[in-house]
Amino acid sequence: MTRPYLIRRARLTDVKAIWDIERLSFPEPWSLLSFLAELRNPVSTTLVAGPPPPQRWQTLGYLIYWQVVNEMHILNLAVHPRHRRRGLGRALLGAALDQARRNGAATAWLEVRPSNLPAQSLYASLGFHQVAVRPHYYQDNQEDALLLTFSWEEEEGR
């Protein structure tokens, strides 16, 4: 059974928790300043998830996406390691996709490491499919990125 989560837009007070999750989740974490910049970027949306009231708020995961005209680009999605495999990533991604669709998005894009099999499984289960490979995409130059896309028009046609 999936636990309910409260998903809301991130605030400045969430940035430290987001950054902590980032550093636990990725071999090349974004800087704290990068997260602060996203909060000021007019095309960027940062969503956070935590337990619903009456529980005390704790940021358990986050998702950052840009929406430029009718395209959504998912930049970053992470869940605290202690809270993975509970549906939180799916809930964040679903909320972000719904929000972008309501705001006019027709397609969504993201990059994922070939070694990140749990993320690939999540994306595929929601209708994303691979369209390209970006060679040596990550800063460590050790891994390519798989470019995945999602189209609401394709989903509606299924």
Pairing of strands 107-112, 71-79: parallel
Torsion of CA 132, 45, 120, 32, to 10 degrees: 100
Catalytic sites, residue numbers: 111, 123
Report the distance separating Cα 117 and Cα 132, nearest Å.
Answer: 17
pLDDT in the model for residue 37? 96
Nearest to 88 by CA among 75, 96, 79, 97: 79
pLDDT in the model for residue 1? 36
pLDDT in the model for residue 127? 94
pLDDT digits (tens, 9 = 90+) for 68-127: 999 999 999 999 999 999 999 999 999 999 999 999 999 999 999 999 999 999 999 999
Count of C-beta atoms within a 10 Å radius of residue 111: 17
pLDDT in the model for residue 61? 97
pLDDT in the model for residue 123? 96
Checking if the pLDDT of 3 tops 80, the result is no
Classify domain 6-157 by CATH number: 3.40.630.30
Checking if the pLDDT of 128 tops 70, the result is yes
Q: Residues 115, 142: contact at Cβ < 8 Å? A: no
- The model carries a pTM of 0.91
pLDDT digits (tens, 9 = 90+) for 50-61: 998 888 889 999
All structural domains of the chain with their residue ranges = 6-157
- The residue with tokens 């550093």 is 23
